[in-house]
């Protein structure tokens, strides 16, 4: 098998965590300032960094369990999570473009899984 | 498309090359991980460095480039990684897998394009 199940599941988990990292970055961008004192108090940004760090670490570990050309495409699921998260938590709108894109990504990832 | 300068597209394309290279380094580095210390090996650090460079190029590309043009270009990452995997990692890419990669690239590009109109 080109990739172990644990690696695939782990990558799906890291994309989920990463999507929340993106959410917190977006929330932190509202009050963003380069000012050190303001930066330290930007809790959203800090949490975002932590989530990204965790997801990146888990991702690298997951790479041990399979081929890059199989595992990396699965990262595209992150775009699906981000779409869901941004609609649910940021009030952004779903539209035909996003839904179509999500559907095609699912098809693509499934093909990677089969191929 | 008129609002996106050529330089931004060039920056975005170079960005994707760095991110793809970073993925390759991550993969090579992951094999060397046996404990916490070996996690921070040269390849993993190199991969993170490439990724960081890519992130900077991405932000620079967005300076004069529209999100709905630049973000879809990031979809090319999946194509580059496929190519790099065959060349440097001896992985075999079947026709089915390539179709999957093209589908994912298309899907990501569509989402990237749809973001500006929808939100």
In this predicted complex, what is the ipTM? 0.86
Region B76-101 average pLDDT: 94
Q: What is the pLDDT of residues A29-83, one digit of tens each?
A: 888 888 888 888 889 999 999 999 999 999 999 999 999 999 999 999 998 999 8
Q: Does residue B66 carry a pLDDT above 90?
A: no
Q: What is the pLDDT of residues B23-57, one digit of tens each?
A: 999 999 999 999 999 999 999 999 999 999 999 99
Contact B27 A63 (CB under 8 A): yes
Q: Does residue A2 carry a pLDDT above 50?
A: yes
Q: What is the pLDDT of residues A78-107, one digit of tens each?
A: 989 998 998 999 998 888 988 999 999 999
Instruction: Give the 3-state secondary structure percentages of chain A, helix then strand then coil, rounded to 5.
Output: 80, 0, 15
So what's the pLDDT on residue A1? 62
Contact A60 B29 (CB under 8 A): yes
Any B CB within 8 A of A31 CB: no
Q: With contacts defined as CB-CB under 8 Å, which chain A residues touch B99?
A: 108, 111, 115
Q: What is the spatial distance between Cα B23 and Cα B46, in angstroms, rounded to a whole number? A: 10
Which residue, B67, B73, B72, is CA-closest to B10? Answer: B73
Contact B107 A64 (CB under 8 A): no
């Amino acid at each position: 098998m080109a990739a172990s199940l644990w690696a695939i599941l782990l990558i799906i988990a890291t994309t989920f965590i990463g999507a929340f990292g993106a959410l917190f970055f977006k929330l932190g961008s509202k009050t963003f300032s380069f000012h050190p004192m303001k930066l330290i108090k930007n809790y959203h940004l800090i949490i975002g960094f932590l989530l990204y760090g965790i997801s990146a670490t888990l991702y690298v570990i997951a790479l041990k369990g399979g081929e890059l050309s199989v595992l990396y495409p699965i990262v595209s699921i992150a775009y699906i999570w981000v779409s869901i998260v941004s609609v649910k938590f940021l009030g952004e709108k779903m539209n035909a473009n996003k839904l179509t894109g999500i559907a095609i990504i699912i098809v693509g990832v499934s093909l990677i899984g089969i191929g | 498309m008129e609002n996106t300068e050529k330089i931004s597209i060039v920056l975005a394309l170079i960005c994707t090359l760095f991110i793809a290279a970073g993925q390759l380094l991550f993969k090579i580095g992951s094999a060397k991980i046996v404990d916490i210390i070996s996690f921070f090996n040269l390849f993993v650090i190199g991969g993170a460095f490439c990724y960081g460079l890519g992130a900077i190029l991405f932000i620079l590309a967005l300076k004069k480039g529209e999100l709905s043009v630049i973000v879809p270009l990031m979809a090319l990452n999946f194509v580059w990684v496929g190519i790099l995997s065959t060349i440097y990692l001896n992985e075999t890419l079947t026709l089915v897998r390539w179709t999957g990669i093209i589908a994912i690239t298309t899907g990501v590009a569509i989402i990237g394009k749809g973001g500006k109109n929808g939100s």
